[in-house]
């Protein structure tokens, strides 16, 4: 994984995007040495989204396995002040 400063990232954005897209490289953008953001390929982003969705499904299944009474949506909204 490569780290670049904000100024370098701004100056070389097209090159960094190409490296992520075609080379599979992940680039961390930093400011004063602290990570701020990352440039990754759209393929990687889709993969991470799938992992997140799968994790959500596992959490839902675990919650449902615990049992208990379902809470109506309107009650949840009311309790959250929505």
Residue-level length of the chain:
82
Q: Is residue 30 part of a domain?
A: yes
Residue 68 has pLDDT above 90, yes or no: no
Q: Is residue 71 part of a domain?
A: no
Helix H or strand E segment including 29: strand 27-31
- pLDDT of res. 54: 96
Tell me the pTM.
Answer: 0.71
* Other Cβ atoms closer than 10 A to 5: 14
Tokens of 2: 């490569």
- pLDDT of res. 39: 98
Report the C-alpha gap between 53 and 55 in whole angstroms.
5
Indicate which CATH number applies to the domain containing 58: 3.40.1620.10
**Residue pLDDT, tens place only, 20-51:** 999 999 999 999 999 999 999 999 999 999 99
Report the C-alpha gap between 36 and 29 in whole angstroms.
6
* Total structural domains within the chain: 1
Q: Is residue 45 part of a domain?
A: yes
Which structural domain range is residue 17 located in? Answer: 2-66
Say if residues 35 and 29 touch (Cβ distance below 8 Å).
yes
- pLDDT of res. 9: 97
């Amino acid at each position: 994984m490569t780290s670049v400063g904000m100024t370098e990232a701004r100056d070389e954005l097209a090159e960094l995007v190409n490296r992520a897209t075609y080379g599979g490289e992940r680039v961390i953008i930093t400011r004063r040495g602290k990570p701020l953001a990352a440039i990754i390929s759209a393929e990687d982003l889709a993969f991470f989204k799938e992992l997140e969705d799968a994790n959500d499904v596992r959490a839902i299944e675990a919650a449902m396995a615990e049992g208990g009474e379902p809470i109506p949506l309107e009650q949840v909204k009311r309790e959250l002040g929505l």
